Structure 1
Amino acid sequence: MLESIILGMVLEEDLTGYDIKKRIETGIGVFYKASFGSLYPALKKMTGKGCLIAYDKSQGGRQKIFYQITEAGKKSFYDWLSSPMNIFDGTNTHLAKVYFFDRLSPELREHQLLQHEINNVNYLHKLEALEKEFDKLEHKECFYYKLSTLYYGICITREAIRWCQSVRKQQPLSELMRKGADL
């Protein structure tokens, strides 16, 4: 996923590794972290694969290495961005994709979010069925903390569905924030 995020960051302008790290921190840093120890090997690998071109440029009296996206890199980025979101990959994956959704057509964005919503609804049904099975257990209080993780999953999945519905309708972000504050 880091490679795809890097490609998205350099899509509009050439950046140094330091600049990419800063953009990750200030852009998607709420839900995704990248260290310099993972960033620079990824940049080297992507340059080797032909997704990026590295070149030296003087800036502020110092030579710096900048990275530029290639056509192969653009194709790789858009292939990743337009591929379905998998709810089992964790929130970081789908949120990283949504971060770049402005680059997709409205129809593809709608399709991606609707599919993600449907996948979450199906998963919620599985979790609720599991909850019913656990309700039949004798002495379920002995499994309180194990069951609490199931309830956490149900709550998070319900919220993911609500989020998908709101974002698909492009509700004002201030409205989304108010709904989330109703706890």
Structure 2
Amino acid sequence: MLEYVLLGMLMEGQMSGYDLKKIIDSSVGHFYAASYGSLYPALKRMADKGYVSVFETADSKNKKLYSLLPEGKEAFLKWLEEPQAGGREQLIRVFFFDYLDEDIRQRRLQEYLYAAEHEIRALEAVQSIVAGELAGLEHPEDYYYRVSVLGYGLSHARMQKQWIEDIIERKDLGHVKPRN
């Protein structure tokens, strides 16, 4: 996935490995970590595939600048358009959704919403079963922490559903006003 994160960052323009690491750390780095030890080999692989070009500066630092090539942009957009992803890959994709056509973006968001709703229904069914089993126990409080994890899962799924609905409705996110 690191290659796609790098390609997405390079959609903004030419950058050095140091610049890319800094941008990753200050944006998607809150839910996706990339080390220099993984970043530079990924950039090399991308150059070998013809996804990025490399320009070595002649200054005292001899730093390399990476630019997105048409093949890299095509690979990135193809990955971004792919259906359903979960977890942090979903967050990475949504982060870059500004690069998608509106119809594809809405299709993917509807898929994410469906998955969140499905997860909520599944967890509510488990919660119902667990509640019935706990009712038959002499000391249900002995299972408090185990059951709390189920509560976390349900709260997380509901929060994710609300987040996706807010995105679909283009609600004001506090720092970016929605288009009218």
TM-score, scaled relative to structure 1? 0.87
Aligned to 1:63: 62
2:97 aligned with 1:98: no
User: Is the 1:85–1:93 Cα contact (8 Å) retained in structure 2?
Assistant: no
Work out the CA distance in 2 between the residues paired with 1:146 and 1:175.
38
CA RMSD of aligned residues (A): 1.8
TM-score w.r.t. length of structure 2: 0.88
**Deviation for aligned residue 1:161:** 0.6
Matched residue count: 172
Matched-pair contact (CA < 8 Å) for 1:8–1:77: yes
**Unaligned segments of structure 2, at least 5 residues:** none
Pairwise CA distance, 1:35: 1.1
> What residue is the counterpart of 2:158 in the other structure?
158
* Equivalence for 2:49: 49
Q: Distance in 2 between matches of 1:101 and 1:171?
A: 16
1:131 aligned onto 2:130: no
Give me the identity figure in percent: 34
Structure 1 residue 143 displacement after superposition: 2.3
**Partners of 1:5 and 1:96 within 8 A in 2:** yes
Distance 1:75 1:13 in 2: 15
Q: Aligned partners of 1:13 and 1:175: how far apart in 2? A: 24
- Amino acid of the structure 2 residue aligned with 1:126: A
Structure 1 runs of 4+ aligned residues shifted over 3 Å read none
CA distance in 1, matches of 2:83, 2:57: 38
Larger-Rg structure: 2
The Cα offsets for residues 7-31 of structure 1, whole Å up to 9 and x where unpaired, read as 0111231111001001111222222
Q: Does 1:14 align with 2:5?
A: no
For residues 19 and 49 of structure 2, what CA distance do their matches in structure 1 show? 21
Aligned to 1:5: 5
- Please name the residue that 2:32 is paired with: 32
